[in-house]
């Protein structure tokens, strides 16, 4: 009897799950792709398409938390600051034209993949993740809003905390975390959102030649981020707005918030530095004891002990992977595509390949 009741219970749960899982038709899926691309193109600032970076960041933040990629963002959480403008634009399009035909979670994830595809139109290595896109994600019950169960990671976090976040949240190895962090080749930090100021990459390392019709480096997916980290040494720590630390290029000691936009230098956060160095902040502003300047510099008591024991580098376990990516753009784009797809496929439902006819 108990066994039969159990079976009935599972059948009921399963049928409810089936009922809410939406699989778009080929026509609806194609229309979603076209509308998303048009939306991304419609917000142009000089050579930049800021929706590209915004949609990619949104996909990451949507995948944090208990139900993973579920079409829900907690806009009251400080860590999500800056995403409201992106979700407002996407939700307006979704609610007007796509609701009921594709889930909001699929729509957010698809926006990111369409954005990544657009970002390499002019680049030597193309992002091809769209062909493997899967559909059928379930939205959280309160979509598009929610109370977030897990806080997004912080830019002042050091090496240990940064890699622990990716292990706990997505079961990513250090190498996979390094791979996905390269998304910071896109976009920028804003004082009013995160308290940091500047973009990670600039023309110096972009794989796209500057021209009136090519995208700005902040809208191009390439390995510029890793070349910044590996080839610009030593980075220096500066204080933004008198409160938070970020890293800037050695010849630019003036904090970006005190410079006009055109004079700002590239930035790295502690969590980006983690891709090459063992750094552990010693206070809430993110200060570290010294700047990574060479193979042998000591930047924390732990790093000091490690350097002393091994008599060589205090590079983090991530350094080798970041170095490989700095030297091979095609390799990074390929591995990024795989890891990013794995992240956006995390959902309580089993997904299916998007329709091809």
Through-space distance between the first and last CA atoms of the chain, rounded to whole angstroms: 46
Q: Please calculate the CA angle 56-50-85 and round it to the nearest 5 degrees.
A: 80
Nearest Cα to 201, choosing from 214, 215, 188, 213?
A: 188
Instruction: Please report whether residue 246 would count as binding ligand HEM according to CB under 6 A.
Output: no
- Segment 72-101, which members bind ligand HEM (CB under 6 A)? 82
Q: What is the contact mask toward ligand HEM in residues 222 to 241, using x (rule: CB under 6 A)?
A: --------------------
Instruction: Please report whether residue 190 would count as binding ligand HEM according to CB under 6 A.
Output: yes
CB atoms within 10 A of CB 349: 16
Tell me which of 118, 184, 227, 324 binds ligand HEM, using CB under 6 A.
184
Instruction: Please report whether residue 186 would count as binding ligand HEM according to CB under 6 A.
Output: yes
The arrangement of strands across the sheet holding 267-268 comes to 236-240, 244-248, 267-268
Instruction: Please report whether residue 174 would count as binding ligand HEM according to CB under 6 A.
Output: no
Smallest separation (angstroms) from ligand HEM to the CB of 195: 8
Instruction: Please report whether residue 158 would count as binding ligand HEM according to CB under 6 A.
Output: no
Tell me which of 29, 60, 94, 108 binds ligand HEM, using CB under 6 A.
60
Which of the ranges 1-9, 90-98, 188-196, 257-265 carries the binding residues for ligand HEM, by CB under 6 A?
188-196
Instruction: Please report whether residue 194 would count as binding ligand HEM according to CB under 6 A.
Output: yes
In angstroms, the CA 221 to CA 55 distance is 13
Query: Nearer to ligand HEM by C-beta: 83 or 307?
Result: 83
CB atoms within 10 A of CB 192: 8
H runs (alpha helix) in the chain: 2-20, 26-42, 50-62, 84-93, 104-119, 159-170, 174-181, 224-231, 270-273, 301-310, 319-327, 329-344
Quote the tokens at residue 90: 């996407």
Instruction: Please report whether residue 188 would count as binding ligand HEM according to CB under 6 A.
Output: yes
Instruction: Please report whether residue 341 would count as binding ligand HEM according to CB under 6 A.
Output: no
Which neighbouring-strand residues pair with 134? 353
Q: Looking at 61, 98, 184, 319, which residue is catalytic?
A: 61
Q: What is the contact mask toward ligand HEM in residues 14 to 53, using x (rule: CB under 6 A)?
A: ---------------------------------------x
61 is catalytic: yes
Q: Please calculate the CA angle 83-221-351 and round it to the nearest 5 degrees.
A: 65
Tell me which of 162, 244, 266, 321 binds ligand HEM, using CB under 6 A.
162
344, containing H or E segment: helix 329-344
CB atoms within 10 A of CB 176: 21
Residues that bind ligand HEM (CB under 6 A): 53-54, 56-57, 60, 82, 153-155, 162, 165, 180-181, 183-184, 186-190, 193-194, 196, 269, 271, 340
Active-site amino acid positions: 61
């Amino acid at each position: 009897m108990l066994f039969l009741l159990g079976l009935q219970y599972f059948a009921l749960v399963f049928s409810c799950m089936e009922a809410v899982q939406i699989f778009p038709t080929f026509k609806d899926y194609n229309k979603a792709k076209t509308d998303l691309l048009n939306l991304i193109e419609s917000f142009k600032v000089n050579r930049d398409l800021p929706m590209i970076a915004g949609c990619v960041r949104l996909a990451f933040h949507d995948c944090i938390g208990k139900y993973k990629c579920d079409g829900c963002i907690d806009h009251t959480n400080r860590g999500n600051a800056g995403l409201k403008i992106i979700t407002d634009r996407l939700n307006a399009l979704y609610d007007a034209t796509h609701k009921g035909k594709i889930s909001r979670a699929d729509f957010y994830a698809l926006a990111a993949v369409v954005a990544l595809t657009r970002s390499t139109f002019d680049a030597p290595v193309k992002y091809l993740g769209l062909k493997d896109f899967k559909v059928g994600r379930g939205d959280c019950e309160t979509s598009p809003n929610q109370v977030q169960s897990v806080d997004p990671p912080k830019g002042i976090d050091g090496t240990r905390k940064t890699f622990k976040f990716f292990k706990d949240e997505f079961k990513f190895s250090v190498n996979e975390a390094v791979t996905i962090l390269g998304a910071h080749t896109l976009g920028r930090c804003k004082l009013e959102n995160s308290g940091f100021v500047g973009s990670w990459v600039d023309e110096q390392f972009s794989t796209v030649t500057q021209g009136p019709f090519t995208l700005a480096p902040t809208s191009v997916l390439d390995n510029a981020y890793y070349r910044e980290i590996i080839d610009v040494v030593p980075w220096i720590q500066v204080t933004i707005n008198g409160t938070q630390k970020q890293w800037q290029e050695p010849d630019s000691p003036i904090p970006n918030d005190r410079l006009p936009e055109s004079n700002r230098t590239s930035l790295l956060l502690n969590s980006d530095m983690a891709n090459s160095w063992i750094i552990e902040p010693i206070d809430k502003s993110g200060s570290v004891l010294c700047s990574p300047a060479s193979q042998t510099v000591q930047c924390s008591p732990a790093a000091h002990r490690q350097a002393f024991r091994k008599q060589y580098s205090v590079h983090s376990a991530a350094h080798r992977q970041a170095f490989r990516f700095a030297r091979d753009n095609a390799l990074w784009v390929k591995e990024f595509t795989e890891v990013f797809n794995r992240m956006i496929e995390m959902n309580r439902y089993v997904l299916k390949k998007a329709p091809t006819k």
